[in-house]
Amino acid sequence: MVHIFYILCVLNFRDGGTVVVVVSEGNYIILPCSLSSQESLVRTRFHWKKDDEREVFVYDAGLHHNNRRSGQDEHFRGRVSHFSDQLKFGNASIILRNTKVADSGGYTCDFPFHQPDRETFNVTLVVGESFISAIILRSYSNLKQYGVERLANSEGTVREQ
């Protein structure tokens, strides 16, 4: 069975817009988040929350939920990781494994101590059964009317509208 992962860019991500990510249940997905300045995040703090309350992932100058940091919502325990080698480039994206329909919702990536301007990014995750990905593919030609500018698969290949 072929699994398809799609990212629908609804607004310009760097302008604080929302990114909509669609994935089939049971797969993994990358929730994107990067500082516009691309400055290193190795010695700073960022956090991901679901619906502004559930703690998904926190990175704090090297400490995170996968190496002794507590407080992660149990629903996400053991399923979330980050790209440690990409922190030096300002990349705070996370991988969510074994996605569940209950993972669907709004996610926020926040840099609470980033100065001079605090940056926050919003991602909407839609997790569904395999047929949802197929419906989105069939509707690809109609997505532009909803403001979707591009469609990218999990490998980063972008198909412009």
Provide the CATH number for the domain around residue 49. Answer: 2.60.40.10
How many C-beta atoms lie closer than 10 Å to residue 132's C-beta?
18
Amino acid 136: pLDDT: 52
The total of structural domains in the chain comes to: 1
- Higher-confidence residue: 132 or 89? 89
Residue at 123 is within a domain: yes
Return all residues near 80 (Cβ < 8 A) that are at least 6 apart. 48, 56, 57, 65, 66, 72, 94, 95, 96, 97
pTM above 0.75, yes or no: no
Residue 42 lies in a domain: yes
* Residues 135-148: tens digit of each pLDDT: 554 444 454 444 44
Closest to 27 (Cα-Cα) out of 128, 102, 105: 128
Tell me whether residue 1 is in a domain.
Answer: no
Whether 140 maps to a domain, the answer reads: yes
Task: Name the residue with higher pLDDT: 38 or 66.
Answer: 38
